[in-house]
């Protein structure tokens, strides 16, 4: 419940800040970003308040423990997300620096995504 209140408060603050910022500065970019921040944190707050196990009409905590008896699967640590990020940055730089960087960056991105997908398929 505390996460829901925290995100809801952050959403309210962002929306109020967007309104005040929009009135004072008349800048559309900053106002839009603050409104989007408020909307996204509001979605997080709504999700956390909706998922409360003690909410009337939902399963009790004991039922949640029985349903979650199976250990959740989390992926292993991996270098592939970093490799994908580096190749995307290289592709962005290729748009600025020239097409000579596009081919190596595209090859690196393809290899990174293939490695990431191959690792994600194997659950050990």
For the stretch 14-67, pLDDT in tens is: 999 999 999 999 999 999 999 999 999 999 888 888 765 555 555 555 555 555
Could you tell me the pLDDT band of residue 69, with boundaries at 50, 70 and 90? low
Residue 28 CA, chain-centre distance (Å), reads 24
According to the model, what pLDDT value does residue 77 have? 80
Instruction: Answer with the residue of higher pLDDT: 103 or 56.
Output: 103
Label each residue of the chain as H, E or C. Answer: CHHHHHHHHHHHHHHHHHHHHHHHHCCHHHHHHHHHHHHHHHHHHHHHHHCCCCCCCCCCHHHHHHHCCCCCCCCCCCCHHHHHHHHHHHHHHHHHHCHHHHHHHHHHHHHHHHHHHHHHHCCC
**What is this structure's pTM?**
0.45
Residues in the chain, total = 124
**How much of the chain, in percent, has pLDDT values that exceed 70?**
74
């Amino acid at each position: 419940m505390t996460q829901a209140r925290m995100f809801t408060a952050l959403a309210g603050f962002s929306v109020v800040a967007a309104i005040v910022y929009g009135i004072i500065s008349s800048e559309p970019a900053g106002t839009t970003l603050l409104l989007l921040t408020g909307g996204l944190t509001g979605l997080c707050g709504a999700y956390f308040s909706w998922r409360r196990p003690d909410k009337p009409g939902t399963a009790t905590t004991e039922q949640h423990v029985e349903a979650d008896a199976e250990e959740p699967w989390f992926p292993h640590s991996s270098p592939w997300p970093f490799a994908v990020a580096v190749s995307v940055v290289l592709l962005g730089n290729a748009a600025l620096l020239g097409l000579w960087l596009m081919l190596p960056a595209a090859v690196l991105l393809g290899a990174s995504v293939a490695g990431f997908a191959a690792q994600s398929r194997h659950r050990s």
